Amino acid sequence: MHVLKSMIRQPAALFGLVVVALVVLLALAAPLVAPYSPDEQMFDGLTLEGAPLPPSAQFLLGTDALGRDLLSRLLYGARTSLVIGLVANGIAVTIGLLIGILSGYMRGLVGNALMRFTDLMMAFPALLLAIVLAALLRPSLWIVAMVIALVNWVQVARIVYTETRGLVERDFILAERSLGAGHGRILFYHILPHLIPTAIVWGTLGIATTVLLEATLSFLGIGVQPPTPSWGNIIFESQSYFQAAPWLVFIPGAVILLTALSFNLVGDALRDLLDPTQRGRG
Amino acid sequence: MAFLLLRRLVQTALILLGVAAITFLLLYALPADPARMIAGRSATAQTVANIRRELGLDQPLLVQFWTYLQGLVQGDLGRSYAQKTDVGALIAARLPATLILMAAGIFVEVLLGIALGVLAAVRRGGFIDRLVMMASFVGVSAPQFVAALLLLYVFAVTLAWFPMSGFGTFAHVVLPALTLGILGAGWYARMVRSAMIDVLNQDYVRTARAKGLSSFRIVFRHALPNALLPVVAMIGIDIGQFMSGVVVVEAVYGWPGIGQLAWQAIQQVDIPIIMGVTLVSALAIVIGNLIADLVAPLIDPRIRAR
């Protein structure tokens, strides 16, 4: 509650919070608010020459090359983006937490090996890896989510590792240990709770990264496959004639930007609130 | 220092070996079959088997990897499946274009980032500061391909100031460099701002003010040089990021660099090229990090002393 209150006081964070809430609500209510079915190719959705229609009273944001309503596709596309955002990011944060905690807590061979592996993954060209994987696997919504998770856990692992190393040195852990607490108890009851803020912050910031990555993969034609609408593949399908119908590229583009920006703003505000030492930095 | 350098070089070699191993495994495990891809849809099973044998794909995984490594330590990245030429030569032919784009993009980033960061730090808490911070957030949240298409639409289609795509003249490099630079400048601006704020609060700056120096002189001659250390580190990290992220921008602008090479190779399941570009990108990341770590003590004597 206290966190929510402080966020409402900052205009940027409030803006982010409102947009995030709006995107989530609209995605959930897509069948109720969408004026048309996202896949319906309408006769009156194209000009007589077969070109897409610009925004009008009938089609608020215009239509795409197949005569489908852009607004309806964007609303359903929000579902795609959010599902991928939550799944991919949930997996990434879980893997990152697990590897980070274990490598930070366990000295010796296992901890070292895990950290070296993380270092190795840091040297991997992430976007290139994602593109290669998505292209060579048969892309689907879940494959895209897995690919993104596979690329995105590394940063979380590094941060969790550093924090865990700091926590292990603290006196209260030493006290627990001397009282005879087992590793499991220390990890779950004493270290994990301290890492929750980090997980929340990176979970939020990670959704922005994920939305951007999904859009990028879909834009290259190797992300979510049509006819399932995704913000990226709407642009992919329209880019060849974006000179004639720029709204088909720039409206979804603006939606992607706004969503990523809002998750970033909320994540940044959360970081400031949960970790005052980072305030105003990076 | 020499010992440190040696250790880092060994680490670099190990990391590249690891990247090679993981990429190799991944590409091997993927369902895409290069032999079938080369043979085409109508090829007989015999033809596919022949191609597979010719490329050595019928060998066990470990044998294939060992053969690849033997080539790699001699600087041989293998032969492209589709283009039948040396991968090293293909990459070498494309690398200059990517390096030009990288240099131009980082130039725009650093210039814009420093200017905005200093402006925000000097006007800390004010309207300009908030505007710069917000703009930097927008920059880092914007999808690169949308920014690329937007610049293309405004400056190439509508105003026709710059060519749509291609390579060769200065005009060709402007839009791709701006795309990379404007979006990336956000990180630099945030970092320069926070470093400048730290520096401007230090005693020597107060002394300079007390001496009656002009604000301009204090900011640019006294404070800014000390705030640039993180920028150098950032450029190092950026070099690696660029190599990995350049696929998208090169695809939109038809820029003939290694990103485009990789993108074509991915579509043809040309595994040696994919391996080669991945390794070159990993090398760029490692070298970038090395630059970030090694240049810092050269600039700042305090780090050298540690």
How much is the pLDDT for A277? 58
Instruction: Select from B140, B143, B244 the Cβ nearest to the Cβ of A256.
Output: B143
Model pLDDT, residue A278: 52
Q: Which residues of A fall within a CB distance of 8 Å from B262? A: 128, 131
What is the C-alpha separation between B30 and B235, in angstroms, rounded? 34
CB pairs under 8 A between A and B: 127
**Residue-level pLDDT, tens digit, chain B, 306 residues:** 678 778 888 888 888 888 888 888 888 777 667 777 777 767 777 777 777 777 777 777 788 888 888 888 887 877 787 777 888 888 888 899 899 999 999 999 999 999 999 999 888 888 888 888 889 889 889 988 888 888 888 887 778 787 777 777 777 888 888 888 888 898 899 889 988 888 888 888 888 888 888 888 888 888 888 888 888 888 888 888 888 778 888 888 888 889 889 888 888 888 888 888 988 888 888 888 888 777 777 777 776 665
Please give the angle made by the CA atoms of B98, B104 and B105, to the nearest 5 degrees: 85
Least CA distance to A118: which residue of chain B?
A: B15
Chosen from A121, A136, A249 to mutate, greatest number of chain B CBs within 10 A: A136
Q: Inspect the interface and report whether the beta carbons of A216 and B248 lie closer than 8 Å.
A: yes
Residue B75: the pLDDT is: 78
Nearest-by-Cβ selection for A220 from B243, B245, B251: B251
> Which of A74, A118, A127, A138 is the best substitution to test chain B (most B C-beta atoms within 10 A)?
A127
Whether A127 and B245 lie within 8 Å, measured CB to CB: yes
Minimal C-alpha gap between A46 and chain B (Å): 23
Rg, chain B, Cα only: 24
Subunit contact A119:B282, Cβ cutoff 8 A: no
Determine the distance in angstroms separating the CA of A45 from the nearest CA of chain B, rounded to an integer.
24
Which residues of chain A are at the B interface, by a Cβ-Cβ cutoff of 8 Å? 12, 119-120, 122-129, 131-133, 135-138, 208, 212, 215-216, 219-220, 235, 239, 242-243, 246, 249-250, 253, 256-257, 260-261, 264-265, 268, 280-282
Mark which residues 243-272 of B lie under 8 Å from A by CB. 243-245, 247-248, 251, 262-263, 266-267, 269
The answer to whether residue B145 neighbours chain A at the CB level (below 8 Å) is yes
B-chain residues near A220 (CB < 8 A)? 247-248, 251, 263
- Residues A7, A13: contact at Cβ < 8 Å? yes
Cβ-Cβ contacts under 8 Å, A246 against chain B: 153
pTM of the full structure: 0.86
**For range A24-32, the mean pLDDT:** 87
Q: Do B140 and A264 touch (CB under 8 A)?
A: yes
- Chain B environment of A151 (Cβ under 8 Å): none
Residue of B127, B238, B266, B269 to mutate when probing chain A, most A C-beta within 10 A: B266
B160: left (phi over 0), alpha (psi -120 to 50) or beta: left
Q: Which two tokens stand for residue A200?
A: 């929340």
pLDDT tier for residue A225 given thresholds of 50, 70 and 90? confident
DSSP B90-139: HHHHHHHHHHHHHHHHHHHHHHHHHHHHHHHHHTTTSHHHHHHHHHHHHH
Peptide bond into A227 cis (omega under 30): yes
Mean pLDDT, chain A, as a whole number?
Answer: 84
A158 vs B296, higher pLDDT: A158
ipTM at complex level: 0.84
- The predicted pLDDT at position A96 comes to 93
Q: What is the pLDDT of residue B287?
A: 86
H helical segments located in chain B: 2-29, 34-39, 45-55, 61-73, 87-122, 127-141, 144-151, 170-200, 203-210, 215-217, 224-227, 229-253, 258-267, 271-299, 301-305
State the amino acid at position A232 in one-letter form: G
Nearest Cα of chain A lies from the Cα of B293 at a distance, in angstroms, of 15
Question: What is the chain B residue with the closest CA to A259?
Answer: B141
Residue A280 pLDDT class (50, 70, 90 cuts): very low
Nearest to A131 among B247, B269, B289 (CB): B247
Give B269's contacts in chain A (Cβ within 8 Å).
Answer: 136
Question: B27 with B37: CB under 8 angstroms?
Answer: no
Which chain B residue has its CA at the smallest distance from A236's CA?
B145
pLDDT tens digit string along A31-47?
Answer: 887 787 777 777 776 77
A195: helix, strand or coil: helix
> Highest-confidence range of A84-98, A173-187, B79-93, by mean pLDDT?
A84-98
Which residues of chain B are within 8 Å of residue A137 when distances are taken between CB atoms? 30-31
How many angstroms separate the CA of residue A106 from the nearest CA in chain B? 22
Mean pLDDT of A194-210: 89
- The label of the residue with tokens 């409102």 reads A18
Let me know: does A156 contact A200? Beta carbons within 8 Å. Answer: no
pLDDT of residue A282: 40
Closest by CA to A77, choosing from A199, A238, A204, is A238
Counting residues of chain A whose pLDDT is more than 70, the rounded percentage is: 95
| Tokens representing residue B89 in the block | 């030569």
The C-alpha atoms of residue A274 and residue A203 are separated, in whole angstroms, by 13
Mutate to test the interface with A, among B136, B146, B190 (most CBs of A within 10 A): B146
Q: B113 vs chain A: nearest CA distance in angstroms?
A: 13
The helix/strand/coil state of A69 is strand
